[in-house]
Amino acid sequence: MQLRVVILALGIMTALLGAAMIPCWLLDLADNRQEWPVFAASATVLLLFGGGLVVLSGGRPERTGAREAFLLTVLVWVVLPALAAIPFIGVGMSFTDAMFESISGLTTTGSTVITGLEDQPRGLLLWRAILQWFGGIGIIVTAIAILPMLRVGGMQLFQLESSDVSGKFMPRIEEISAQIGMIYLFISAACAITYMACGLSPFDAVAHAMTTVAAGGYSTYDASFGAFYDTPAVVAAIFFMIVAGLPFSLLALAMIHRRVKPLLTDPQPRLFIGLIIGITTLVFLLRVAADQDYVIVSPIGGYIETLFNVVSIMTGTGYATAPYDGWGEPIVLLFLVTIFLGGCAGSAACGIKMFRLEISFKAVFAHAKQMISPNRVVRIHYGGKVIDNDTLQSVMVFVFLYMATFIGAAILLSLTGLDPLTSISGAATSVSNVGPGLGPIIGPAGTFEPLTDRAKWICATAMLLGRLEFTAVFVLMTRRFWRG
């Protein structure tokens, strides 16, 4: 196994993480906060450590393969959160809380153990936003450039032409990362400018733009996006959250190469938008049927509020403008289902993803047809292509591991003494990287701070498994992987 490529990549990303701490250090220094040495020391350590790894790697390796890619993918999401937790430990958080906040940030989950956000140093709040912004671009590049090559979870369906895992692997990632990075940066800047035009302060606008485009959901206020409830920023956030849930490869084609047709004809965006409209309308009608005064007095405002929270949950952003877990049991159950759906493949969003949902449903109907007519050959089509058995098997394995991890996490959380709603929603929101759960403890008005350390580690592990698409982790657990 070529470990030099793994060491080189980890070194570069560690150094970038250290460089990202410098703005936090300077902001706390400008605010005359006593916490500024924490970021100064952390940035220095990570820059030196990352530089040392780059030197140790001895330069660019000549060849890389699937085994290195699997190992690097997993190590990035395990090692970087541990390094990113250093500033949280430096400001007085326990090791468990610091790791939970860091993992939640980099996986763009958005669950938090911090209360009183308005009183926290702005450097720390900016660091949380930066973690999610970095996590968002990392997730997109992983989904577009790495997972299709590794044939993880059916992602081979989106494998780019002339991409493989031998020789061209690193150059291909660099090329894709550059294009996606340009789009990601442009959308982030547009989001920040729009938020400022809607009345947010420059700091709040930048911090929330980072966590919106990354589908992360960390806010600078305990009230989350409810702090801007009466501003046009709510509508702007809906638009940019939807953009974050779209395939960035198609956005790159549209914005860089002026090829808009693929974005309009791809089945994923159509299903994504359709589900958003359908679920929002159903939830809104249920609120009307429940005779909720606010919805009846202001139907437009009620629909926008419903749309915001549905989009936030479905994309995994996790912002909240209202305690939606108090809208009635049918809506709570509907939101619980929505947590699993997610966005499009190649987006910053989380969940099962649109293409897997469609392929899974088509597979069920195809199986039913074949049971009726055993001699009939039933082929499953997606996006004008015939789905081969390898891709179908990958999708089914992913869905199985997804649900198995969710059920396992829910059972383990219940064994820590949590009530059924908190256990089930906590497992769902962690595996799906959404953020808030349901109920009085971890719901939109609560945090994960009251949970025991054991419960926090269960949730953090589920976050990592969900973000790593499960299969990549289980591959590393096989004996054959290490034997080569």
Q: Annotate 126-181 with three-state secondary structure.
A: HHHHHHHHHHHHHHHHHHHHHHHHHCCCCHHHHCCCCCCCCCCHHHHHHHHHHHHH
Instruction: Say how far apart CA 117 and CA 225 lie, in whole Å.
Output: 13
Whose CA is closest to 24, among 134, 129, 181, 137? 129
Instruction: Say how far apart CA 259 and CA 24 lie, in whole Å.
Output: 38
Measured at the CA of 165, the angle between CA 315 and CA 135, to 5 degrees, comes to 30
Query: Residue 161 is which amino acid?
Result: E
Q: Are the C-beta atoms of 324 and 284 separated by less than 8 Å? A: no
Instruction: Say how far apart CA 116 and CA 338 lie, in whole Å.
Output: 29
H or E stretch covering 381? strand 381-382
| Tens-digit pLDDT string for the chain (484 aa) | 677 878 888 898 999 999 999 999 999 999 999 989 999 999 999 999 999 988 888 766 556 666 777 788 888 888 999 999 999 999 999 999 999 999 999 999 999 999 999 999 999 999 999 999 999 988 888 777 676 766 666 676 666 543 333 334 344 566 777 888 899 999 999 999 999 999 999 999 999 999 999 999 999 999 999 999 889 999 999 999 999 999 988 888 888 878 888 888 889 999 999 999 999 999 999 998 888 777 777 889 889 999 999 999 999 999 999 888 888 899 999 999 999 999 998 899 988 999 999 999 999 888 888 888 887 778 888 888 888 888 888 888 889 999 999 999 999 999 999 999 999 999 999 999 998 999 899 999 899 999 999 999 999 999 999 888 776 677 777 776 666 5
Phi, psi of 423, deg, nearest 5: -65, -50
**Region for 327 from its dihedrals, namely left if φ exceeds 0, alpha if ψ lies in -120 to 50, beta otherwise:** alpha
pLDDT score recorded for residue 164: 37
Q: Are the C-beta atoms of 324 and 335 separated by less than 8 Å? A: yes
User: How big is the chain, counted in residues?
Assistant: 484
Instruction: Say how far apart CA 136 and CA 210 lie, in whole Å.
Output: 9
Residue 203 CA to its chain's centroid (Å): 23
pLDDT score recorded for residue 173: 63
* The residue to which tokens 């001699």 are assigned: 375
Beta-bridge mates of residue 385: 382
pLDDT score recorded for residue 168: 40
